[in-house]
Amino acid sequence: MTADTPWTRWPSPEALSRAGLSRPRQLLGRSVRALVGVALLWGAFRSGHLPPWGVAAAVVGVLLAGLVVRGFFRTTLAHRLWPSLGLLAVLVALGLAAHAGQLTVPALLLWCACAVMALVRLPLAAAAPVAALSLACYALSHHDNWPVTGATAVGLALAGYVLRLDAEARAGALRLLAQERAARAAEAESAALAERARIAREIHDVLAHSLSAQLVHLEAARLLVEQDADREQILDRIVAARGMARDGLAETRQALSALRGELTPLEDFLSELVRENARAEVTVSGERRPLPAEASQTVRRVAQEALTNVRKHAVGAAVQVHLDYGQHEVTLAVRDFGGTPGELAASGGGYGLLGMRERAELLGGSLDAGPHEEGFAVTLKVPA
């Protein structure tokens, strides 16, 4: 049976195993099997017409039936059709032997068990004839009341099919649970990778800029020493490198605080950023609220880059920093008044507006930079 149709499809391994069964249901199944075994033994011993060797043979038959049922469970779990059918044939034959020995109750129990197990654990194309044969043996050997016998046979068939549907429903729930767990694991892995990427960007934005700037100043100082340049020129380069190291250390601490979730309020950060510039002004509009860590860091980095470029290319210019909390996004606008238009875009200093634009786009935002009426403007928008 290779065609995948409802009639030839095996029950899933989850349906054939005890996976997902609650402890009460497992105890109930074991209790039913124990009661059937006790009923078989009781049927053998209560028959007073059997000689001792007959009773012994009946006990051996009960034990053999238990081993056959155990083997049937294993072969069906492995989806082995012909061994499973062979084991059911053995059970039917044991029922016929019991019936021939006038052990009616054990025979009826064996045939009913064959019908139910076949419907629960075999493909329907194989289960239907096996169940029909077993129930026919039951009806023919128990024909005192045909309506009751027929109703019992139909009830057993329905019970077997209902148990099959219940097992498949349980298996479906287990598969959905496994898929949900896999999806959660994938989501957690994706979040971890995104966090690693964020940390990498923080390290690059802070350390790469600071170290490269220090290297430039120190290399210049080395060349000046080799050329026997003026002492003041050499000291200027060393002092500049020291300043870059100090600024890099401060920004590294800020980045570590951000990664630990210890960010200062964004408004306080912007005010501190422009504290040394007497002509700088910070304004905030909209309803203030905490921002996601990545959005908050992007706003801080863009503000740092924009003000660094103002200090380099518009010395002494007035600066306006405006932060607006919109309903679905936050907007940062940094404008200087008095700088030379166009120089900032060509300089590429600081962390680099190109890198800031890429960071904003990763969040689904945008960054615009260019000359405006009297100077230069940088406008950042990020969803938040």
Q: Which two tokens stand for residue 65?
A: 């039936």
Instruction: Give me the domains of the chain, ranges plus CATH numbers.
Output: 13-142 (no CATH), 265-384 (3.30.565.10)
Q: Is the pLDDT of residue 343 over 50?
A: no
| 136 pLDDT more than 60 | yes
Angstrom CA distances, 226 to 214, 219, 230, stand at: 18, 11, 11
Whether 286 and 325 have beta carbons less than 8 Å apart is answered as: yes
CA 41: distance to chain centroid? 51
Confidence check: pLDDT of 351 > 60:
no
User: Residue 46 — pLDDT band, cuts 50, 70, 90?
Assistant: low
- pLDDT digit string, tens, across residues 159-191: 889 989 988 888 888 888 888 988 998 888 888
Burial category of 8 from C-beta neighbours within 10 Å (exposed 0-12, middle 13-18, buried 19 and up): middle
For residue 276, which of 308, 242, 239 has the smallest C-alpha distance? 308
Q: Tell me the C-alpha distance between 78 and 122, whole Å.
A: 11
* Residue 347 tokens, joined: 């300089």
* DSSP at 8: T
**24 Cβ contact list (under 8 Å, min separation 6):** none
Question: Do 76 and 116 contact (CB within 8 A), yes or no?
Answer: no
**Residue 263 confidence (pLDDT):** 66
Per-residue pLDDT averaged across 23-29, rounded? 69
Q: What is the pLDDT of residue 78?
A: 92
CA–CA distance, 371 with 20 (Å, rounded to integer) = 66
Residue 128's pLDDT is: 93
**Concatenated DSSP letters of 233-273:** HHHHHHHHHHHHHHHHHHHHHHHHHHHTT-PPPHHHHHHHH
Least confident of 228-237, 314-323, 337-346: 337-346
d(CA 177, CA 183): 10
- CA angle 154/155/156 to nearest 5° reads 90
- H helices of the chain, in order, are 13-16, 23-46, 52-77, 81-100, 104-121, 124-141, 146-203, 209-226, 231-259, 266-273, 293-313, 343-347, 353-362
Does the pLDDT of residue 252 top 60, yes or no?
yes
As a dihedral over the C-alpha atoms of residue 142, residue 146, residue 151, residue 152, rounded to 10 degrees, the angle is -10
Q: What is the pTM of this model?
A: 0.53
Mean pLDDT of the chain: 80
Distance separating alpha carbons of residues 239 and 383, to the nearest angstrom: 40
Angle, nearest 10°, between helix axes 104-121 and 23-46? 150
**Structure tokens belonging to residue 313:** 């290319």
- Burial status of residue 177 (CB atoms within 10 A of its CB: 0-12, 13-18, 19 or more): exposed
pLDDT tens-digit map of 114-133 = 999 999 999 999 999 999 99
Q: Mean pLDDT, to the nearest integer, of 83-91? A: 92
